[in-house]
Chains A and B, each alone.
Chain A
């Protein structure tokens, strides 16, 4: 029987030091030190990084893949990323690096099946229709290509610049702008098709 790493992690976890740390508000020095330890093979340090990045990576994966398989996809990508940590050159670029790996994993998984797995299949019905805008988010996202969804998420939710998004998606900044423009056009058409803006839910 192998070592119970999860139990070891629970005992030795760095309590509170990096709690609530996200890619946006983490101070660079502790994060870089943790990344360095993870690169050196420290599993506990890697677990701290995973915990810090988990929520935002799942949100990104859900936008690209839908709710059903997003968390499994992110977990698979994080397990694969552990083996690739020695490739990380810039310790301060861990967040875009792990985002790139997770996104690549999601896009590859997305290519393996054709149909959008509906968010509503698992999520509560209220998640399908945004209560404030009355907008059917699932319908809107379904009309976008996976890369367009990723660009919209990184632009709108995380507020990343075109250059930062280009680095994550491994495309040019011009391609990022093109994806976003086409996504906006498609969304305008989609929203135009939705006649009801008062929040009435679509039929099943």
Chain B
């Protein structure tokens, strides 16, 4: 009878598997027993488990510290880091009858104070710096 090749392979494999090993099971067990290490097995003991647990916590703490450091370094935290210096606004030299006031850190207000002989109140100017009057020229 012409059997399927796969059936033949399966039968051959089963027959091959039934071949007894060279060492009898009892002899093999005795040999394995003779090779087992004396004393404690290589197994996680409670002390070893505690040690590995401590290492695990140390790793977690180190990772958390690293994250905190990276966060502080790169995250915006103005109260921690000095404010970067802004553009320096140096007021131009002012004439004697001009008062400079700062409405905010970037907005100057120039007030010209008339001389004691001249009537009127101080006149506000725009935030443009008052050009330095030429010598002899009247002050606006």
A and B found bound together: yes
Contacts of B82 in A (CB 8 A): none
Interface residues on B, range: 35 or more
Given contacts A48-B29, A83-B42, A184-B6, contact A71 B22 (CB under 8 A): yes
State the CA gap A132–B34 with chains docked (Å): 40
> Among B12, B22, B32, B44, which residue has its beta carbon within 8 angstroms of that of A79?
B32
The reply on B118 being an interface residue by CB < 8 A is: no
Contact B13 A137 (CB under 8 A): yes
Task: Report the minimal beta-carbon distance from B2 to chain A, rounded to whole angstroms.
Answer: 9
Q: A75 contacts B8, CB within 8 Å?
A: no
Contacts of B8 in A (CB 8 A): 130, 133-135, 191, 197
Nearest Cβ in chain B — how far from A68, in angstroms?
11
Nearest chain A CB to B25's CB is how many angstroms away?
4
The main secondary structure of chain B at its interface with chain A is helix
In Å, the complex CA distance between A63 and B10 comes to: 13
Known contacts A51-B26, A187-B6; A152 and B21 CB within 8 A of each other: no
Contacts of A153 in B (CB 8 A): 13, 17
Contact-residue size bin, chain A (C-beta under 8 Å from the other chain): 35 or more
Q: State which residues 142-186 of A face B: CB under 8 Å.
A: 152-153, 156-157, 184
Knowing A9-B29, A58-B21 touch, does A130 contact B11 (C-beta < 8 A)? yes
Taking CB atoms and an 8 Å cut-off, the chain B residues in 19-58 that contact chain A are 19-23, 25-26, 28-38, 41-44
Whether B13 contacts A152 by the Cβ 8 Å rule is yes
Would you give the 0/1 interface string for B2-18, flagging 1 where the beta carbon is closer than 8 Å to chain A?
01011011111111111
A54 at the interface (CB under 8 A from B): yes
Please indicate the chain A residues that have their CB under 8 angstroms from the CB of B11 in the complex: 130, 132-133
For A82, list chain B residues within 8 Å (CB). Answer: 32, 36, 41
Q: Which of B40-92 contact A (CB under 8 A)?
A: 41-44
Which of A2, A47, A59 is the one whose CB lies under 8 Å from B19?
A59
**9 closest A-B pairs by CB:** A133-B8, A130-B12, A83-B42, A6-B30, A191-B5, A54-B25, A58-B21, A51-B29, A59-B17
